[in-house]
Chain A
Amino acid sequence: MSAPSMSHTTEGALSKRPNIAMRFLRHPFWGNLAREPLGLTGFILIGLLVLVALFAPLLAPYSPNRQVLSDALSAPSAAHWAGTDEFGRDILSRLIWGSRLTLRTVLSVSAIVGPIGLIIGVVAGYFGGWTDTILMRITDIVLSFPSLVLALAFAAAIGPGLNTAIIAISLTSWPPIARLARAETLVVRNSDYVSAARVYGAGHLRLIALYVTPMCIPSVVVRLTLNMAVITLTAASLGFLGLGAQPPAPEWGAMISAGRQYMIDYWWVAVMPGIAILLTSLSFNIAGDALRDILDPRHDRS
């Protein structure tokens, strides 16, 4: 029994720094995921969503903007699985095309917020002192802002649109990531392998980029995934209030808003897009939970 652990320690001592890619591939994660039915479902749903968005032109039975007024507000049927809206547009096709807008928002915000939060957090934690104080003070201030309301005001000032929504959501969602990255940095900053690299003459930039930052990535990824659920909901709220992608774009929140006045007699117009939002946000939440349980054993499942 002691042989594997022996080889493990020698390996650890010889390698210059932990190789994140190999660690990721060899990680028991893949085996663990198979034993987490709920988490696996989340990943499968996200995979499906990505496929649907990629192949929207092939999958959608109709054009998302094709209006057939004689078919307006018809109930779900074999021809229109999710029914049609007030202009006789096929709701399923609009949902399929709308997945592109949702994914674009979620991915864009994550791509903006992840690196910004990571850099601010790592720099604050690595240098400490005044740098840390100033950066974390700013982070705390932004963290204390009401993000949805601020996004609304921002979108109102510069005019509605998908890009506005992306910027508005990004503005207030980087602080939790910065805090997390800082906390992780504080843990690894003084560890032996970092000190060793420092003794060998590695500069700040090298230490930060190759030795500290990679260690923060797993927990940042977990946080980003959980964050995607929040982004999906915020984007839908902005769309619902008319501040996201503009008509006739098949934005899910805007579709709910349009279906509101038909709710009593033609429920499917508003209900169907809501199911799409719920499933998307649910899969991000489940996947994020599973990732945390597996990648980050220090945190208890909550």
Chain B
Amino acid sequence: MARSVMKSVASMKLGQRVIQLLLSLLVLIAVTFVIGRVLPTDPVGTLVGELADPEAYAAMRARLGLDQPVLVQFGHYVWNMLHGDLGVAALTGNPVAEDLWRAFPATLELATLAIVLSMLIGVPLGLTAALRRDTWVDQTIRVISLVGHSVPVFWLGMIGLLIFYAILQVVGGPGRIDVYYEGIVPNVTGMILVDSLLAGETDIFRNALTHIILPASMLAYAAMAYITRMTRSFALEQLSQDYVIAARAKGVSPAKILGRHILPNIGVQLITVAAISYGSLLEGAVVTEVVFSWPGIGQYMTSALLIGDINAVVAATIIIGVVFMLLNFLSDIAYTLLDPRTKEAA
């Protein structure tokens, strides 16, 4: 009895969360509609040019549907979007959706490597800080993550390029791969690291790795700051629990307490942190990509920004926004499904 009641409560919360996600997506689309169609002073002018004759201007205006009421325009906007039509980019002349489809894997590859690196370093650092609380170790880790929290990533990227690429020449420069390797590997996933492995081209894989390692590390450092802080405070919370004190009193070694007791208990919380960080990494990639000439969504968006191509800007915003919201959604779901405590609470 009680079990089924709890289960229905949990599924109701899931339903609520789905509704909230859909609502958020709708509001995001509405906001981008306002940004793309209502705010710009003259969207037609940017497309046809200022000196276009009135007839061409009117034709373009009609083609964009700007002569219709705003609500009708919004309806069309949503309708087109549901069909994957995000308009045409002035920059490339291609449909924006096509451009984004090409650019997204590059961003995904960068952000994914960054999140893996930042979790691999951030979680152990956070645990160490918690175990060595208030010692010089803790203080050092605190300062390292404070700096990571405060540094402009794009600036750090430029310094990284100066030191590791220009001076020491240990990493590849801007771009995803050296020019003479370009276009060799067949495009399967769009992620060069994966594609080169699939094609068995280890040279290209190694070359791509030297290119991605610097931007990924820079992004990872910024994300690591947050992960370390959160891991530390989660672990501290556990360390003060009775079961840990009991285990300690029994003489269980700290390493064992960590591995057997603390990590499993904070695992779910860490998944949430990872999802949040992943979302902010995708965002952070926007500016980092500019510094590293990384051909992802960020660079696409910023070059569109500079020429006032509002279609492309809005579409990129939507893509990043959707992924961002989905990540938050998945982390919430994971939290509810994996953590038995949330079910009891409900």
Show the binding face of A for B, using Cβ within 8 Å. 137, 140-141, 144-150, 152-158, 229, 233, 236-237, 240-243, 253, 256, 260, 263-264, 267, 270-271, 273-274, 277-278, 281-282, 284-286, 289, 300, 302
12 pairs of residues in contact across A and B, judged by CB atoms under 8 Å = A145-B24, A150-B31, A156-B305, A229-B149, A229-B150, A240-B290, A242-B305, A263-B166, A277-B155, A278-B150, A285-B149, A300-B237
Contacts of A286 in B (CB 8 A): 146
Contacts of A302 in B (CB 8 A): 229-230, 232-233, 236
Contacts of B229 in A (CB 8 A): 302
Known: A146-B321, A150-B317. A278 touches B152 (CB 8 A): yes
Chain A: which residue is nearest B297 at the CB level? A149
| A-B interface, 6 closest residue pairs, ranked by CB to CB distance from nearest | A302-B233, A274-B155, A281-B150, A282-B150, A157-B39, A153-B317
- Taking the closest CB of chain B, its distance from the CB of A243, in whole angstroms, is 7
User: Contacting B24 at CB < 8 Å: which of A144, A241, A260, A263?
Assistant: A144
Would you call B40 and A152 a contact (CB within 8 A)?
no
- Indicate the member of A150, A157, A271, A281 with the most B CB atoms within 10 Å: A157
User: Contacting B287 at CB < 8 Å: which of A137, A241, A263, A282?
Assistant: A241
Contacts of B325 in A (CB 8 A): 144
- What's the Cα separation between A256 and B233 when bound, in Å? 35
Known: A149-B320, A240-B287, A263-B161. A270 touches B155 (CB 8 A): yes
Q: Mark B85-97, 1 if CB is under 8 A from A, else 0.
A: 0000000000000
Contacts of A145 in B (CB 8 A): 24, 28, 31, 321, 324
Contacts of B156 in A (CB 8 A): 274
Chain B: which residue is nearest A270 at the CB level? B158
User: Contacting B305 at CB < 8 Å: which of A147, A241, A271?
Assistant: A241
Would you call A144 and B162 a contact (CB within 8 A)?
no
Would you call A256 and B146 a contact (CB within 8 A)?
no
Contacts of B314 in A (CB 8 A): 153
Chain B: which residue is nearest A153 at the CB level? B317
Contacts of A140 in B (CB 8 A): 20, 24
- What's the Cα separation between A264 and B160 when bound, in Å? 11
B282 interface residue per 8 A CB criterion: yes
Chain B: which residue is nearest A230 at the CB level? B149
Show the binding face of B for A, using Cβ within 8 Å. 20, 23-24, 27-28, 31-32, 35-36, 39-40, 146-147, 149-152, 154-156, 158-159, 161-162, 166, 229-230, 232-233, 236-237, 279, 282-284, 286-287, 290-291, 301-302, 304-306, 308, 310, 313-314, 316-317, 320-321, 324-325, 328
Would you call B152 and A274 a contact (CB within 8 A)?
yes
- What's the Cα separation between A260 and B282 when bound, in Å? 23
- Taking the closest CB of chain B, its distance from the CB of A154, in whole angstroms, is 6
Would you call A156 and B310 a contact (CB within 8 A)?
yes
Would you call A243 and B20 a contact (CB within 8 A)?
no
Contacts of A300 in B (CB 8 A): 233, 236-237
User: Contacting B154 at CB < 8 Å: which of A256, A281, A289?
Assistant: A256
- What's the Cα separation between A260 and B291 when bound, in Å? 8
Would you call B305 and A150 a contact (CB within 8 A)?
no
- Indicate the member of B32, B150, B279, B321 with the most A CB atoms within 10 Å: B150
Would you call B328 and A144 a contact (CB within 8 A)?
yes
Provide the main secondary structure of the chain B interface: helix
- What's the Cα separation between A144 and B320 when bound, in Å? 11
- What's the Cα separation between A260 and B162 when bound, in Å? 10
Would you call B310 and A278 a contact (CB within 8 A)?
no
Would you call A156 and B308 a contact (CB within 8 A)?
yes
Contacts of B158 in A (CB 8 A): 256, 260, 263, 270, 274
Contacts of B283 in A (CB 8 A): 146-149
Chain B: which residue is nearest A252 at the CB level? B152
- Taking the closest CB of chain A, its distance from the CB of B291, in whole angstroms, is 8
Contacts of A157 in B (CB 8 A): 35-36, 39-40, 310, 313
Chain B: which residue is nearest A236 at the CB level? B152
- What's the Cα separation between A237 and B152 when bound, in Å? 8
Contacts of B166 in A (CB 8 A): 263-264
Chain B: which residue is nearest A281 at the CB level? B150
- What's the Cα separation between A302 and B310 when bound, in Å? 41
- What's the Cα separation between A277 and B233 when bound, in Å? 27
- What's the Cα separation between A236 and B152 when bound, in Å? 8
User: Contacting A153 at CB < 8 Å: which of B32, B146, B237, B306?
Assistant: B32
Would you call B162 and A158 a contact (CB within 8 A)?
no
Contacts of A147 in B (CB 8 A): 283
- Indicate the member of A229, A256, A302 with the most B CB atoms within 10 Å: A302
- Taking the closest CB of chain B, its distance from the CB of A197, in whole angstroms, is 32
Would you call B151 and A152 a contact (CB within 8 A)?
no
- Taking the closest CB of chain B, its distance from the CB of A119, in whole angstroms, is 21
- What's the Cα separation between A149 and B308 when bound, in Å? 15
Chain B: which residue is nearest A243 at the CB level? B305
- Taking the closest CB of chain A, its distance from the CB of B240, in whole angstroms, is 9
Chain B: which residue is nearest A171 at the CB level? B31
Would you call B237 and A146 a contact (CB within 8 A)?
no
- What's the Cα separation between A149 and B31 when bound, in Å? 12
User: Contacting B152 at CB < 8 Å: which of A137, A148, A149, A233?
Assistant: A233
- What's the Cα separation between A263 and B40 when bound, in Å? 35
Would you call B305 and A149 a contact (CB within 8 A)?
no
Contacts of A229 in B (CB 8 A): 149-150
Chain B: which residue is nearest A265 at the CB level? B166
- What's the Cα separation between A149 and B296 when bound, in Å? 14
